Every structure is written in C-alpha cells, then in structure tokens.
Amino acid sequence: MKQLNNTLIVIAGFAGSGKSTVSKILSKKYSIPRLEIDFFGRESIKMDELKNISADKKFAISYKITFKLAKELLNNGQSVILDINMCNPLSWQELSKIRKYNKKIFILKCPFEICKKRVGERFLLSPKKQLIDGWNVDEVKYKWDFIEKKNYKSIIKIDAAQNIKKVVKAIIDLI
C-alpha cells in the first residue's frame, strides 16, 4: 500500500460482513486511526446524561460526531479508517460532505445467510435470537437489502464471503 495522506478509507457492510475485523487489521497494520460509528452509538445509549433522548436521536448524534472526528483527523493531514454499516441514510449524507479529501469506499458484500450465521456466532446465540442493536437479524434484513442495492461509481465492492486475509489483501491492493 502506498503512503496515504488525507485519505478516508470507509469499510462498510451489514452486520457480520467483517467490516470491524477488516478495519481493525488495516488500522493496526498501517497505524491509521479507526473510528467505529456503532461504538459511539452504543456508548451514547448507555449514558445517563442522554437518557431523555431517543435511541434514534443518539445514533444520529453519534454519526455527526464520528464524521466530525474524521474531518478533524483529515484536516490534520492524517488518514482515517471509518468502520460503518452504511445502512442509514445519515451515513451517506455525512460522507457526501467530505469532498476535498481522497475517499476509498469499500462495501463488504456477503450473502445474508452468512452474515446472519456470523452474527449468531459472535453472540453465541441460537439462530432464533440473533440480535443486531436489539433487533432480530431477520427483522433488519431491509438494511442488508439497502446496502446490496447501492451502486455508485465511487464504491468498491469486495466479496466478504471469502477468507478474511483475502478480503484484506483485496482492499490493500485497491488503496
């Protein structure tokens, strides 16, 4: 991978597609800061100071904070890896505001059943109780469908059903 300056690397996908695993590997290997939107969202839900704010509003705030941090890092000449599901239109809105920097947007494509299985293994739950943010996986399949339909020129789709080392290598080769 060439030297990266002021580059936003977006690793996106549905839960279980491997985005956090891939982004952690890339972050460690290249010493690039990694921001995980879901982390900020989950943490905001736990905060007593925000108990009177709806979960949807908390996640919206977490998106804005994450993108603001990414812009700050980019403004300081750093690259940043953004680990994000991209199922929420807010992701696309915030991403579109980052114009003056090099962006590499990778969507990890993985069949729904494989994602569902991985989520179940992650939480060691029975297939009937596989949860994503409190929802049964089958109840949020529309989010998987949303990602599958995205087809912008700037998006690079990676087959995430393959071995994780191959996924990482494919991304490194394209950066």
* pLDDT attached to residue 131: 52
CB under 8 A, 24+ apart: contacts of 133-136:
133/38, 133/41, 133/42
* pLDDT attached to residue 123: 65
Stretches where the chain sits below pLDDT 50 are none
* pLDDT attached to residue 73: 94
* pLDDT attached to residue 161: 93
* pLDDT attached to residue 1: 52
Among residues 31, 32, 13, 18, which one has the least CA distance to residue 81? 32
* pLDDT attached to residue 154: 79
* pLDDT attached to residue 87: 75
* pLDDT attached to residue 10: 93
Placement of tokens 């569902």 in the chain: 116
* pLDDT attached to residue 88: 75
Among residues 79, 75, 73, which one has the least CA distance to residue 2? 79
Q: How far apart are the first and last CA of the chain?
A: 6
| CA distance readout (Å), 62 to 55, 68, 102, 136, 174 | 10, 10, 23, 22, 29
Name the class of domain 7-174.
Answer: alpha beta
Rg of the chain (C-alpha set): 16
